[in-house]
């Protein structure tokens, strides 16, 4: 499926969405399988298959994308500050005091719950990192991809709505804004450049969406500067760790012994043991600033149609026969977001979108490209084939965020 809107909770889809299904969003699909390395032992490739995991959706655990970052000091205001040197929190015997680290970081960690438009009744969960007192939160793009609405759970047990600010799906980074908050505790972003292989790190997040306080796991930095490639998606500058990372941890922090965010938990190798990956925080910091300053490949204020589509060419012969699809090009509508512009216009699953405002739509991505050029409130004329017959509808675009 291809969500036209922007990325987990309790129901996992039986199968991952395809790359084409995410094309309009420009996001990496939430459950890609990573390709095996061309040369065994290549330091810049992960060995085996991997999966991105936005959280728990149904009964299937897929590939997990997770991470941590910290730039704002704990208890600080909205301004940016450089990471400060902090002493490690240790026990009397010199080991990392995991309880102390958790106590320092968990007020800055939120659970993220979404209602997905990918299929009726599906939901998911992930994790986010508070960056500012007024509720700017860092997470993974795949966590909020395909969202219908976002709810966050705060440290004190309160729940609050949130909206998308912007994201860089190809980097799997997104910012959301919690509504109606002004006195939250920002995380402290550290520096991933200072990390050493063998250094102890801690992953914190909403593992398996079990509720209550964030879960915590401890491990070491197993390797640095890793790269992973899925179909059409490449993530670089990754920290490899053996700290256990699970569905629902996506978007959560990987922290050092001083409680500073050094990575954003993002991926696991599905067929291996204790191999997880986090996006280095030093890579994330510039993306945070770009989104805050109005950038991002996907913006919450963009026009929104509300269809999930795939390329007609990628549909199975059985599915094409079911809906009397005889063309080889176009965007096949898998589902329609309830109460969206597409729903109000009368678009239906099984429709094949062949043009928007007179412009040919040869595939799923072309629908998104046209919609992104328009503004919320614009009217569009959409030509579709329904059961082989031409149908024309008019839709008034909504807003993505």
pLDDT band, very low/low/confident/very high, at 213 (cuts 50, 70, 90): confident
Least confident of 34-43, 93-102, 181-190: 34-43
Q: Assess whether pLDDT exceeds 60 at residue 141.
A: yes
Sequence-separated (6 or more) residues with CB below 8 Å from residue 101: 89, 202, 216, 255, 257, 258, 259
Q: Assess whether pLDDT exceeds 70 at residue 40.
A: no
Do 65 and 54 touch, CB atoms closer than 8 A? yes
In whole angstroms, give the CA distance from residue 151 to residue 65: 20
| 115 CB-contact burial (10 Å; exposed 0-12 / middle 13-18 / buried 19+) | middle
The domain ranges of the chain are 11-75+96-297, 301-399
φ, ψ of residue 249 to 5 degrees: the values are -80, -15
Helix (H) / strand (E) element for 57: namely strand 57-58
> Residue 147: its pLDDT value, please?
61
Give the residue numbers annotated as catalytic, written as ranges: 142, 172, 250
> Residue 340: its pLDDT value, please?
85
Residue 264, CA distances (Å) to 142, 146, 155 in order? 12, 20, 19
Do the domains 301-399 and 11-75+96-297 match in fold? Answer: no
Q: Assess whether pLDDT exceeds 80 at residue 60.
A: no
Q: Assess whether pLDDT exceeds 70 at residue 120.
A: no
Sequence-separated (6 or more) residues with CB below 8 Å from residue 211: 111, 153
**Which token pair is 360?**
């040919």
Q: Which residues of 181-199 are buried (b: 16+ CB within 10 A; e: fewer)?
A: beebbbbbbbbbeebeeeb
Q: Assess whether pLDDT exceeds 60 at residue 205.
A: yes
Do 281 and 192 touch, CB atoms closer than 8 A? yes
In whole angstroms, give the CA distance from residue 44 to residue 237: 10
Sequence-separated (6 or more) residues with CB below 8 Å from residue 149: 114, 115, 161
> Residue 148: its pLDDT value, please?
60
User: Between 371 and 149, whose confidence is greater?
Assistant: 371
Q: Assess whether pLDDT exceeds 90 at residue 347.
A: yes
> Residue 210: its pLDDT value, please?
67
Q: What is the pLDDT of residues 267-306, one digit of tens each?
A: 887 777 888 999 999 999 999 999 999 888 888 778 888 8
In whole angstroms, give the CA distance from residue 273 to residue 262: 22
Angle formed at CA 192 by CA 261 and CA 215, multiple of 5 degrees: 30
Sequence-separated (6 or more) residues with CB below 8 Å from residue 280: 192, 224, 237, 238, 239, 262, 263
Least confident of 35-39, 267-271, 339-343: 35-39
> Residue 296: its pLDDT value, please?
86
In whole angstroms, give the CA distance from residue 116 to residue 123: 5
pLDDT band, very low/low/confident/very high, at 50 (cuts 50, 70, 90): very low
Q: Assess whether pLDDT exceeds 50 at residue 366.
A: yes
Nearest CA to 298 out of 175, 398, 179, 397 is that of: 175
In whole angstroms, give the CA distance from residue 274 to residue 222: 10
Task: Give, in words, the CATH class of 301-399.
Answer: mainly beta
> Residue 77: its pLDDT value, please?
37
Q: What is the pLDDT of residues 317-338, one digit of tens each?
A: 998 999 999 999 999 998 888 8
**Which token pair is 277?**
């990956």
State the average pLDDT for the chain: 76
Query: In the CATH scheme, what architecture does the domain 11-75+96-297 have?
Result: Beta Barrel (2.40)
> Residue 330: its pLDDT value, please?
92
Residues in the chain: 401
Least confident of 76-80, 118-122, 151-155, 381-385: 76-80
Q: What is the pLDDT of residues 304-322, one digit of tens each?
A: 888 888 899 888 899 899 9
> Residue 28: its pLDDT value, please?
34
Task: Say what percent of the chain tops pLDDT 70.
Answer: 72
In whole angstroms, give the CA distance from residue 285 to residue 83: 11
Model pTM? 0.68
Mean pLDDT of 211-215: 77
User: Between 65 and 140, whose confidence is greater?
Assistant: 140
The dihedral region occupied by 198, where left means phi > 0, alpha psi between -120 and 50, and beta the remainder, is left
In whole angstroms, give the CA distance from residue 333 to residue 124: 22
User: Between 109 and 270, whose confidence is greater?
Assistant: 109
């Amino acid at each position: 499926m291809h969500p036209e809107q922007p990325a987990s909770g309790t129901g996992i889809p039986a199968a991952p969405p395809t790359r084409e299904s995410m094309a309009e969003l420009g996001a990496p699909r939430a459950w890609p399988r990573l390709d095996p390395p061309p040369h065994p032992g290549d330091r810049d490739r992960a060995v085996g298959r991997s999966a991105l995991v936005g959280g728990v959706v149904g009964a299937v655990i897929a590939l997990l994308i997770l991470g941590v970052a910290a730039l704002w000091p704990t208890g600080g205001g909205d301004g940016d500050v450089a990471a400060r040197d902090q002493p490690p929190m240790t026990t009397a015997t010199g080991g990392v005091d995991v309880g102390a680290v958790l106590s320092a970081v968990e007020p800055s960690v939120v659970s993220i719950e979404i209602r997905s438009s990918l299929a009726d009744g599906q939901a998911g969960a992930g994790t986010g990192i508070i960056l500012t007192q007024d509720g700017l939160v860092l997470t993974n793009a795949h966590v909020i991809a395909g969202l219908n609405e976002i709810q966050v759970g705060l440290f004190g047990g309160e729940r609050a709505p949130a909206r998308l600010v912007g994201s860089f799906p190809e980097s799997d980074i997104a910012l959301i804004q919690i509504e109606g908050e002004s006195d939250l505790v920002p995380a402290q972003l550290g520096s991933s450049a200072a990390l050493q292989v063998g250094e102890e790190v801690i992953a914190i997040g909403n593992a398996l969406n079990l509720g209550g306080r964030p879960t915590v796991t401890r491990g070491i930095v197993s390797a640095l500067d890793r790269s992973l490639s899925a179909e059409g998606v490449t993530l670089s500058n990754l920290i490899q760790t053996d700290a256990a990372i699970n569905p629902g941890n996506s978007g959560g922090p990987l922290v050092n012994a001083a409680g500073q965010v050094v990575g954003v938990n993002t991926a696991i190798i599905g067929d291996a043991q204790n191999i997880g990956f986090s996006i280095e925080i030093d890579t994330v910091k510039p993306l945070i600033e770009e989104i805050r300053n109005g950038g991002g490949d996907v913006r919450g204020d963009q026009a929104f149609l509300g269809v999930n589509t795939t390329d007609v060419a990628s549909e199975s012969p059985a599915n094409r026969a079911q809906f009397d699809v005889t063309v080889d090009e176009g965007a096949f509508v898998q589902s329609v977001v309830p109460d969206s512009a597409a729903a109000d216009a009368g678009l239906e699953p099984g429709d094949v979108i062949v043009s928007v405002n007179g412009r040919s739509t040869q595939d799923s991505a072309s629908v998104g490209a046209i919609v992104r050029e328009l503004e919320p409130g614009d009217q569009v004329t959409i030509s579709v084939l329904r059961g082989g017959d031409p149908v024309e509808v008019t839709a008034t675009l909504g807003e993505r965020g």
